[in-house]
Chain A
Amino acid sequence: MTKCGDRRMQVVVVDDDPQMTRIFVAALRTGFGESLAVEAFNDAEAALARIDAGQVDVVLTDLDMPAWNGLQILRLARQRNASTQVIVATGKSSHGALLEALELGAADYLVKPVDRTALIEVVQQATRRVDRWRRALAETWSCDRGSASPAPSSSPAPLCATPISETT
């Protein structure tokens, strides 16, 4: 029987360079297997539409992209859902943008070239924080009541989700 609200963590990866999204997705697959549902976007506008559609737990976005930049993605993700964890990836020379991203609520950051171990670690930490949100909400929302009312839009949609990893 499917648990109420049970679903995999939803991860959105955004980078205008397909070579980067490819390596991100591969690294996440080796680190998390099928426990994450990963969607990759090379077009920031399409990524924004996906984030706006909701139920995104973690966003990994490049900061320096043409047309739309990672800060806009960060802002939308945080407005759409306060629990969404946004990780920004940036080059060593982009200190200003990185500081702004952290001030806007970025959960963590990665410096390109991206180390696979570091990537897995920051995403692991992000999923744990999402999981804690879910657990906290599960204490106030009972899934056993059948068709529970939907959670507020600013909250994680899935309540009672199965954690993808052990929390310490």
Chain B
Amino acid sequence: MLTGDAVQGGIYSSLGSDPDFSELVEFFVAEVPDRKATLEASFASGDRELLQRTAHQIKGAAGSYGFDPLTPSAAALEAAVRDGLPRSEVELRLRELLALFDRLRPGVAP
């Protein structure tokens, strides 16, 4: 569980120090704005299919890139959309995932 400073601090990939994967991790972080934009736009427009799809992809990809803390959050968003939870519940989970996205950092934890 993330607490204290860790909650406010950056999230670094467990693959960030791996020379075979560090460049891919940087690429993943560089694409965060696009992912966020897709999530926000699909939520705003009520495109539940795209929102669920994007959350599903993040659920699979984030952990594969060593950003494990995103996986349960993306899974929660996907489930909320799939199960037809009220818009306010979906938004809550979306905001949680977006906040985690904001904390992703390339490279190695200092």
Instruction: Report the Cα distance A23→B53, complex, angstroms.
Output: 19
Residues of chain A whose beta carbon lies under 8 Å from any beta carbon of chain B: 16-17, 19-20, 22-23, 26, 29-30, 62, 64, 66, 89, 91, 93, 112-114
Which A-B residue pairs are the 3 nearest by beta carbons?
Answer: A113-B63, A112-B60, A113-B64
Q: How far is A16 from B60 in the complex, measured between Cα atoms in Å?
A: 11
Q: Which residues of B contact A (CB under 8 A)?
A: 20-21, 24, 27-28, 31, 53, 56-57, 59-65, 68, 71, 75, 79
11 other contacts beyond A19-B65, A20-B64, A114-B60, with CB at 8 A cut-off?
A17-B57, A19-B64, A20-B57, A62-B60, A66-B53, A91-B60, A113-B59, A113-B61, A113-B68, A113-B71, A114-B63
Q: Is the CB of B65 within 8 A of A23?
A: yes
Partner of A114, one of B21, B56, B57, B64: B64
Closest Cβ of chain A: how far from B29's Cβ, in Å? Answer: 11
Q: Which chain B residues lie closer than 8 Å to A20 at the CB level?
A: 57, 60-61, 64
